[in-house]
Amino acid sequence: MDNEYIRFENVRKEFPGVVALSDISFSVRKGEVHALLGENGAGKSTLLNILHGVFPATSGTVYIDGKPTKYNSTYEAITQGVIKVHQEVQVVENLTVGQNIALGFEMVKGGFLDYKDVYEKCDGILEELGCSFRSKDPVTGLGVGDLQMIAIAKSLYFNANIISFDEPTSALSVPEIEKLFEIIRNLKAKGITILFISHKLDELFRICDRVTIFRDGMCITTKEMSETSNEDLIHLMVGRDVSSYAVRTQPSCADYSEVVLEAKNLSGMTFDDISFKLYKGEILGFSGLVGARRTEVMRAIFGADPLNGGELYLHGSKVNIDSTETALVYGIGLISEDRKREGFIPTMSNNRNVNIPGMGKFKKGMLGLVDEKEMLDNFNNYAELVKLNIRNPEHFTVNLSGGNQQKVIVAKWLSTKADILIFDEPTKGVDVGAKAEIYKLMEDFVAEGKSIIMVSSELPEVIGMSDRIIVMREGRINGLIDKKEDFTEVKILSYAMQEKES
C-alpha cells in the first residue's frame, strides 16, 4: 500500500469474559485523516487505547512507520509523538496554560523547573493555532473549545506524528467546530496522521479521507469517504442478526387509550423540548447514541436533577417531582445505568438493599422499630420473583455478579409497588442468562398493566423489547417510531445520527 504509516495486524484484545477486539487488521496512510466508525462498544476506543499505550493488546502487532511498536505507557507514547486528544480534556486548574501543556514533561535547569523556554515554545504554538490566550494565562475560566486547543497545543509541543481525536466535537459549538476543522486541515498539511472518532456522519464527510468501520469488535471494511454515503455507512455499521436475543415472549399489552405519564416540553441543563406520552402496559424505548442525554432526561423525571422548564402529568394530573423521594411516593422508580455508583449500598446486605426504599412499611411497636421479620419475608418473596441466584439475605450485594446485582436492584423497585419503572441500560454488564431473565421480569411487569421506559444503547434490545421507540440526538427528541415494521437498526441510527429533516 502506498505510504502506509500505521498498520494494525491481527490485533486482538480480551477482557475477562469479553472479546473487545478480534483480529483487527487495517492500515492508515501518512498524513491522512482516518475515521473510525461504529456503534457504542464496537471497539474503536479499545483500539486507540492499545495504540496509545493505555493497555497492551492480547495478541497481534501495531506497526508504525514499518516498525513493530508497543508502548508500555501513555507517557512513552507521548514522548514518541503519538498523542490522543480526549473527548473531555482534563486540565489542572490553578496552573497556567503553559504549565498544563508541559505537565509531566517540565524542563529542568539546575534542579529547578524552568518555564521560560516552555512559555516561549508554547506561545509560538498557540500563535500558530490562532488562540486568543497565551501560555501565562490561567486555565481557569477557559471554555471547552479552548481546553481542546490546549490539548492540541500539547501534541504539537511534543512534535506529534500521530494525533487521535475521540469525539472531539461532542462538546463544541458550531464556530468552535469550524475552527477545529481548520486546525485539523493544517495539521494534515504538515504531514501529521490523524485518527478521528465521531458519530456525526456529516463531519466525517467534511474532514476525513477514509473511514474504517467497526462492528462488535471486528473491523468490517475500510472505504474512501468520496466513494461512500450516509446510508452505506449505516448499513455497514449494523447488519447483525437481531433475532438472536431480546425478543418479547408475550404479546404486547400496551393500552393506547390510557396515558400514564406525559411529558410536555421538558428542559434541563443539557436537554430541551422533551415531550412524550407513556401508555399503560407499554415498554417505551429510548434510543440514541451515548451523549444523547437520555439519562439526564430520566434523572430529571425521577427528581434526581432539577428541571428548568416543562410539565409532567401523571395519570392526567400535573405533578412536581422535586426529589427522588417524591418520585417514590408517586410510584416512579429508576434503575440506574451506573450500578456501582447509584444502584446499591456497598456496605449492606441483599436484604437491606432490597428493602431500603420501602422500609417505611415495615414498622412495629410503639417505638416504630423496623420489623426485621416482615423485611425478611419481603426479601424472600422478591428474591424468588427475580430468581436471585444467591438467596442468602445476609450476603453483601457488592460481592454478587453484575446480573445478580441488577436483580437485587430490580427486586428493590418491584417491592416498592411502583407502577412506572425507568430502566436505564437494563442489561449493561449483565451476562446472557441474567439478561433473558431481566427481559422476562420487564414483560411480567407490563403484563400487570404497569409501564416501563427503557433507555438502551443496544439496538437489538430496543428493537426487540419496545412497543414504541423514541430516538434522541443531542438533547432533543429526533424521532418517534411507532410501527413495529419500522423498527430497523438503519432507521433508528439515521434518527440518532442525522439532523432532523424539517
Partner 1 sequence: MVSRFIKKNSRSFTTLVALLLIVLVFSILSPRYFQYDNLIDIVNQGVVNGFLAIGITVAIITGGIDLSVGSTMAVVIVGCAELSAHQVPVVIVVVLGILMGVLIGIINGFLITRMNLQPFIATLGTNQIFRGVAYVISNGEPVLNIQGQFRKTFQFQIARGIRMNMIFLLVLAVIFAVILSRRRAGVYIYAIGANENAARMSGINVERYKMFAYIMCSVGAAMAGMVTLARLGTGEPTAGEGFETMAIAAAAIGGTSLAGGKGKILGTVLGAFTISALKIGLIVIRLDTFYQFIAIGLIIILATYLDTLQAIIVRKIAKRKKSQ
> At closest approach, how far in Å is the CB of 416 from partner 1?
7
Residues with Cβ within 8 Å of 466's Cβ and at least 6 positions away in sequence, in order, are 283, 284, 285, 454, 487
Q: Is residue 374 part of the contact set for partner 1 (CB under 8 A)?
A: no
> Among residues 73 and 399, whose Cβ is nearest to partner 1?
399
> Among residues 136 and 417, whose Cβ is nearest to partner 1?
417
Q: Which residue has the cell 496512510?
A: 29
**Under a CB-based contact definition with an 8 Å cutoff, are residues 281 and 451 in contact?**
yes
CA distance 213 to 427: 25
Q: Is residue 376 part of the contact set for partner 1 (CB under 8 A)?
A: no
| Cα→Cα distances 72→52, 76, 170, 434, 439, Å | 9, 7, 29, 37, 42
Residues 210, 352, 407, 468: which binds partner 1 (CB under 8 A)?
Answer: 352
- 181 three-state secondary structure: helix
What does the per-residue mask of binding to partner 1 show for 272-311, with x meaning CB under 8 A?
Answer: ------------------------------x-x-------
- 162 three-state secondary structure: strand
Q: Is residue 367 part of the contact set for partner 1 (CB under 8 A)?
A: yes
What does the per-residue mask of binding to partner 1 show for 394-423, with x meaning CB under 8 A?
Answer: ------------------x---x-------
Q: Is residue 140 part of the contact set for partner 1 (CB under 8 A)?
A: no
Tell me which stretch binds partner 1 (CB under 8 A): 134-142, 150-158, 185-193, 349-357: 349-357
Residues 53, 268, 291, 357: which binds partner 1 (CB under 8 A)?
Answer: 357
DSSP string, 307-339: -SEEEEEETTEEE---SHHHHHHTTEEEE-S-I
Q: Is residue 344 part of the contact set for partner 1 (CB under 8 A)?
A: yes
The pair phi, psi for residue 44, each rounded to 5°, is: -65, -50
> At closest approach, how far in Å is the CB of 324 from partner 1?
5
> Among residues 95 and 370, whose Cβ is nearest to partner 1?
370
List the beta bridge partners of residue 317: 314
Q: Is residue 368 part of the contact set for partner 1 (CB under 8 A)?
A: yes
CA distance 259 to 313: 9
Tell me which stretch binds partner 1 (CB under 8 A): 8-16, 289-297, 308-316, 339-347: 339-347
How far the first Cα of the chain sits from its last, in Å, is 44
Q: Which residue has the cell 412497543?
A: 467
Going by the DSSP 8-state scheme, the letter that residue 374 receives in this structure is: H
Q: Is residue 334 part of the contact set for partner 1 (CB under 8 A)?
A: yes
> Assign residue 212 a region: left if phi > 0, alpha if psi is -120 to 50, beta otherwise?
beta
> At closest approach, how far in Å is the CB of 312 from partner 1?
17
DSSP string, 348-364: SBHHHHHHTTTGGG-EE
Tell me which stretch binds partner 1 (CB under 8 A): 20-28, 74-82, 123-131, 324-332: 324-332
Q: Is residue 369 part of the contact set for partner 1 (CB under 8 A)?
A: yes
Lookup: cell for 229: 454515503
> At closest approach, how far in Å is the CB of 450 from partner 1?
17
Tell me which stretch binds partner 1 (CB under 8 A): 10-18, 60-68, 320-328, 440-448: 320-328
> At closest approach, how far in Å is the CB of 339 from partner 1?
9
> Among residues 28 and 328, whose Cβ is nearest to partner 1?
328
The residue type at 321: I
Binding site for partner 1 (CB under 8 A): 302, 304, 323-325, 327-328, 333-334, 336, 341-348, 352, 356-357, 359-360, 363, 367-370, 412, 416
